[in-house]
Structure 1
C-alpha cells in the first residue's frame, strides 16, 4: 500500500487546502507540498472541538473505548504505508517506525482498557450525617470529569508515539476531551496518514467530527493562536526547552490561564558507583554507548552524562570510546536538528577543563558520536555543561570521592531520569544519593539505561522543571489521563442529575 499525501488540513471532518504551501524535507524520497496552517483554521478547529464536547465528553466509557480501539485498528490497517512515508520523512529505519507504530496502537488500546475499569474516575462518597452536631453533613460525591478541548503539538523525534495519535492525544480522547493537533513540519505526511486513520474511526463509530482536527505547518502565529484560544483548556507538548517555555508563558498569560504540560528534555545523568565499576565497568560503558547512540541519540531519555570516580575513569572512557568508535554516521530527523547537534558539540568541546576522548566528523543531516570528560570542579563552575545536547554526545564527569557524587547530584536541574549503576557494596552510597535523585527526576533506575520508556500504569515520564513544566504529571502511562481531568463534587444532588458513572 503506497501513500501519496494530499497536503490538506483536517478540520472537523473536512479536508481543507490552504492558500499557501510549504515543501516537506524528507531524508530520502519525494518531497510534497503541504498547506500552511492559519489562525482562522485554528479558530474553526477549536470551535468545532467545543461543539463536539457535550456529546463526546459525556459519552459512555464503553463508547470512548470503542473509539480508541477503532483508531488503533485503522492505524494498523495502514501499517505499510505509514512506515513508507515515515521512513522517508524522518530517516528513521523501518524497524524503528514499526515498533513505534506498535507502541502507538498499544497506547490507544491500553487507555481503552483503562477507562473501562473506571478506577481513573477516583469516585468518592461521603454519606450525609443529618444528626451530626453542631451542624449536619450533606451528602457529597466526587468524580473526575473531562476539562474540554485540548491542544497537542506533534513531536519531532516520535512521529507516531508522541504526535498526531500519540500519548497526549490518546490520553485526552480517553478522558473525553476533543483534540486539536498542531502537526510537526518535520513529518507532515506521517501526520496526515494518521489523521486519515482517526477520521475513518470517527466515521465508523459515528462520533462528532469536531472531536479531532489536524492543522499542518505554519509560523509561530499558528501555535500562539492555538494555546491562547479561549476554548482550549490544556496543552500537551513535547519539544525544546525554548519552544516549550515560550508556549508555557503564553498559557500562563491568558485571561484564563490553562495548564501547559510540556516535556522539554533532559540529560538523564548516570551515577557509576565504585563497586559496580570495579566489577563490570567495561560492560557498563559498552551499554552506555549503545543507549547513547540509539536512534542517533534523538531520545529525550538519552543518558548524556556519566559520573564516575577519577580513579576509575579510564575504565569507562576506554570501553566507551571503543564501542562508540564502531558507530557510523546516522541520519538525524531534520537539517535543523543536525545543526543544533553540531552547535551543542561546539559549546561543549572548548569549555574549560573539557578533554576530548572521541571526536568525529559529521555534516549535513548526519550525526556521529562524541565523547568528552571533565573534572567535577569544572563541571560545577559551568552550568552550560549540564544543558541537553540532542544527539549521541556523552560527557563523563569525574569526582574524587563519595561526597563529590552528592555534590554533582545536587547540581543537576530537573531530569526525566537518573540512573544508579551499583553493586551490593555500593548500597550505602546509593542510599545517600536517593533522597537527592528523587527530588531531581521523575524516574530513578538501577543497573539499566533510561532509553526505552515502558507504557504502563506505573510509568512516570516527566520530572521537575526544566524536564517538564508540571512535576506532578506524566506524558506516558495511564496516569497521564489525569492531566485532562478535574474533580467535581456533587452536594445533595438528586440521582437524576448525577453522572451515570457516579450512581
Structure 2
C-alpha cells in the first residue's frame, strides 16, 4: 500500500494543487510527501455520498455489519510495518507504543463487531397490543436506529486509536452510520494508509462507497464546513477545548442543530489520602512521575493535579517526584504547535505568584487557598507538567475538589486505614469525573464494555457518554417507537419471527431465543 497524498472521497482519489507537508517530529523538518488540502467542495461531495449510503448501511444485519468491522481490522493489520514506520516518523512515538496502539485499534474494532452481533445494543422492547384493556393499548415496538452520517476528527496524540479508524469511527460504524473523517494534519501519511485500508474493507464487503471518506487538511474552515454540512447528523471530536467548543457552536447554529461529542480538557486530579501518603510517599512519587511522563505527557488522562495534606509526608512525596522527574529522559513532542502550547502553559505557571516550581522539571506546588482563588492554576498544560496542592486538613481538601471543573478521571490513593474518611471524598470525585480509580494511575484506558472515557463539562461536551468502550455506540443511535405497524413493514429486529435473533424484552420479560 502506497501513500500519494490523495483525498479519498468514497471510491475516488482526489488531488489538488494546494498541498501541505507533515513534519518529522524529532527534527521539525518538513517531510517530502505533499498531501492535498481538502476543500469545501470535497466536503460536500463526501457528505452527499455518505447520505446516499446511509439507509443501506444502517439496515445491515448484525452479522453483516460485524463482518465489516472485522474486515476493517484485518485490512489495517495487512498494511504491515510501513504503517508503524510512517507513524514513527510523523509523530516521534516509539515503535512499541505504536505497535500497541495498532493492536488497540484493531482490538476495539473487533470488540464492536462482537457487540453488534450480540444485538443487545439495539435495546429492542415490545409491548404487544391489549385491545381488551380499557383504554386499549396499541402495539408498541421500540429499537435503536442509526443517526446517519457522522463526522469524525482525528486526534493529534493517538494517530491510530483515536484517529482515522479509531474509537469514534468504530463506534459510528457499529451503530450503522457512514463516516466522513477529517484527518489530523500532524500525521497525514499514517492517516492515508489507514483510510485506504478502511476503503478496501468497504469494497470487499460490497458496501456503498459513501460508507467512508477521508479528508486531509490543515484549515479550520475545513472542519467547520464538515460540521455545518446538512447531511452530517453527529460529530466525534478529540482535541482542545477551544476546538471542541468552536465545532459545538457551529453545530448549534445550524438550521437543524446536531450533537457534538467532544472530548476536550482534563487535569485528572490525584488525591493522596493521609495513611497512604505516610506509608508509601516515595513509591507514590516515583509512580506518579512514571504516569506523568508517559508519552511525553501527551495523554488526555495525564495526572496534572495532586491534592494532599500538607506536612513532612507530602514533602517526602514531592522530593521523590522531583528526583524522578529530573532523571526522566527527554522526549519529542508530537507537533511544534503542541510544544509551543506546552511552553506557554509552563511559562504561565512560572509567572504565577501562587505557584512555586519544585525541582528542575515542570512540577509546581501551591496552597489550597491559592488554588481555589485562582482558576488559572487548574488550566490543563498538555505535557509533562503538574501542580501539587497542599491542604491543611481533609475539609479543605474537599473544598479543593468541590472547586474543580469536570474531569475525565479522578484517582484516590488510599490504604485500609484511610477507608473511614474515603467515602465523602469518593462521592466528590464521582460527581466530577467519568472514571474514578483507586490505587492506580489514570494514564491507560482499557477498551472494554464497562469503560467510561468521558466526564462532566469541560472534559467533554456531554458527560452522559463515553468515547471508549461499547457504550460509545449509543452516541450515534436514537430510539424509535413503531406503533401498530404491519409486521412485514417492521425492521427485522421488531418482526414477530425475530429473523436477526437479537435479544428482546416482550411485555416486560426477556424473550428466550
Alignment-derived partner of residue 406 in structure 1:
398
Counterparts of residues 151-190 of structure 1 (less than 5 Å): 151-190=151-190
Worse overlay, 214-223 or 460-469: 214-223
Distance 2:481 2:354 in 1: 58
Alignment-derived partner of residue 214 in structure 2:
214
Alignment-derived partner of residue 54 in structure 1:
55
Distance 2:80 2:349 in 1: 40
Structure 2, gaps ≥5 residues long = 496-513
Alignment-derived partner of residue 488 in structure 1:
480
TM-score calculated relative to the size of structure 2: 0.94
Alignment-derived partner of residue 256 in structure 1:
256
Counterparts of residues 17-416 of structure 1 (less than 5 Å): 17-27=15-25, 30-133=31-134, 135-311=135-311, 312-359=313-360, 369-416=361-408
Contact 1:307 1:405 in 2 (8 A): yes
Is 1:458–2:459 an aligned residue pair? Answer: no
Is 1:423–2:415 an aligned residue pair? Answer: yes
Distance 1:125 1:137 in 2: 12
**Secondary structure, in 3 states, of the residue corresponding to 2:327?**
coil
**Secondary structure, in 3 states, of the residue corresponding to 2:213?**
strand
Alignment-derived partner of residue 363 in structure 1:
none
Distance 1:358 1:113 in 2: 49
**Secondary structure, in 3 states, of the residue corresponding to 2:237?**
strand
Alignment-derived partner of residue 362 in structure 1:
none
Contact 2:277 2:314 in 1 (8 A): no
Distance 1:218 1:285 in 2: 40
Aligned residues: 491
Query: Cα distance, 1:393 vs. partner?
Result: 0.6
Worse overlay, 276-285 or 287-296: 276-285
Distance 1:31 1:285 in 2: 43
Distance 2:460 2:80 in 1: 31
Distance 1:140 1:349 in 2: 62
Contact 2:126 2:494 in 1 (8 A): no
Contact 1:65 1:174 in 2 (8 A): yes
Distance 1:248 1:26 in 2: 31
Distance 1:98 1:213 in 2: 25
Per-residue CA deviations over 1:112-136 (Å, capped at 9, x if unaligned) read 0001000101111112111212x11
Distance 2:41 2:220 in 1: 14
Query: Cα distance, 1:429 vs. partner?
Result: 2.0
Cα distance change, pair 430–130 in 1 and its aligned pair in 2 (3 A) = same
Contact 1:38 1:218 in 2 (8 A): no
Is 1:438–2:430 an aligned residue pair? Answer: yes
Query: Cα distance, 1:352 vs. partner?
Result: 2.1
Query: Cα distance, 1:353 vs. partner?
Result: 2.5
Query: Cα distance, 1:4 vs. partner?
Result: 5.2
Contact 1:126 1:139 in 2 (8 A): yes
Distance 1:196 1:27 in 2: 23
Distance 2:219 2:72 in 1: 29
Contact 1:305 1:397 in 2 (8 A): yes
**Secondary structure, in 3 states, of the residue corresponding to 1:307?**
strand
**Secondary structure, in 3 states, of the residue corresponding to 1:330?**
coil
Worse overlay, 73-82 or 44-53: 73-82
Query: Cα distance, 1:438 vs. partner?
Result: 1.1
Aligned-residue RMSD, C-alpha: 1.0
Distance 1:142 1:110 in 2: 25
**Secondary structure, in 3 states, of the residue corresponding to 1:132?**
coil
Query: Cα distance, 1:349 vs. partner?
Result: 1.6
**Secondary structure, in 3 states, of the residue corresponding to 1:31?**
strand
Distance 1:299 1:291 in 2: 10
Alignment-derived partner of residue 6 in structure 1:
4
Distance 1:386 1:32 in 2: 40
Query: Cα distance, 1:462 vs. partner?
Result: 0.4
Distance 1:84 1:203 in 2: 26
Distance 2:284 2:329 in 1: 21
Query: Cα distance, 1:148 vs. partner?
Result: 0.4
**Secondary structure, in 3 states, of the residue corresponding to 1:341?**
helix
Alignment-derived partner of residue 501 in structure 2:
none
Distance 2:129 2:425 in 1: 48
Structure 1, gaps ≥5 residues long = 360-368
Distance 2:118 2:187 in 1: 35
